[in-house]
Amino acid sequence: MDLGIKGKNVLITASSKGIGRASAEGFAAEGCNVAICSRNKDELLNTSEEIKKKYGIEPVWCICDLNSSKDIENTIETVTKQFGSIDILVNNCGGPESGNFQQLSEKNWQEAFEQVLLSAVRFCNLVAPGMILNEWGRIINITSVSVKQPIDNLMLSNSLRTGLIGFAKTLSNEVAKFNITVNNVAPGYTLTNRIYDLAVNRAKLSDKSHEEVLVDMAKEIPINRLASPDEIASVVVFLGSRQASYVTGNTIQVDGGLVKGMY
């Protein structure tokens, strides 16, 4: 199916690895111009080179720490200089620190707030005015199933990602009249570095190895396996498409049935 976004300019944040990178590849496969960013130059160069080899496009890349407003401003400046405008914005981020209420410091909370919620607000502040002028845009936030069902020992994710859902829903109401949609994708357990780190942390709290923890995670999921990053990315790319023009203010779980609730 042609998703009707060939030639659109897409910025995906935190995208040198994992779900962000898979999303960048998904948009590249649709013929979009792709910009990626994260903190590590070598990883960005490597990802950019591989995307060029696979899809024949040269991604724009920027070093950007999502916790720095200056880096976010520089990223937008670089990308708009190259592309002219940003049509599709994917707000991804690194996973916040694990831990329960008693383990987390105020510094942990502040950093997670900047990473998970404020970075998305900052990117939207800088990108939405251009989308409004063009009367077209797509904003997609990558969150977690923790917004539907809290995950043990992930206090920061459970708390702050729901703030992002509130922001996205409110923003979606404000910009819908300009043909701009705002949606969230909530991944379940997905095979990336993040799930590996979480499994190592859970293993420390039990008498199991991280491999056994990963097997247990798969058993919780009706589909009986973890997701691959491109299974999450395909929903992200669909939400960026022309065909998704009437979907806004939504949070779509991509979790193999992990969440047990009906809504």
Contact positions vs ligand NAD (CB under 6 A)? 14-20, 38-40, 64-67, 92-95, 115, 142, 144, 187, 189-190, 192-195
Q: Closest CB to ligand NAD among 67 and 241?
A: 67
Shortest-Cβ-distance residue relative to ligand NAD: 18
Please give the full DSSP string across 159-180, using - where no structure is assigned: HHHHHHHHHHHHHHHHHGGGTE
CB of 170 to ligand NAD, least distance (A): 21
Q: Closest CB to ligand NAD among 62 and 175?
A: 62
CB of 42 to ligand NAD, least distance (A): 11
Q: Which two tokens stand for residue 126?
A: 């800088």
Q: Closest CB to ligand NAD among 40 and 105?
A: 40
Q: Closest CB to ligand NAD among 157 and 175?
A: 157
Q: Which two tokens stand for residue 188?
A: 């379940």
CB 223 within 8 A of CB 256: yes
CB of 148 to ligand NAD, least distance (A): 11
C-alpha span between 185 and 251 (Å, rounded) = 6
Give just the sign of the alpha carbon dihedral 209, 215, 219, 221: positive
DSSP 54: H
CB of 146 to ligand NAD, least distance (A): 7
Q: Closest CB to ligand NAD among 168 and 175?
A: 168
C-alpha span between 17 and 95 (Å, rounded) = 12
Q: Which two tokens stand for residue 13?
A: 């944040």
DSSP 103: T
CB of 69 to ligand NAD, least distance (A): 12
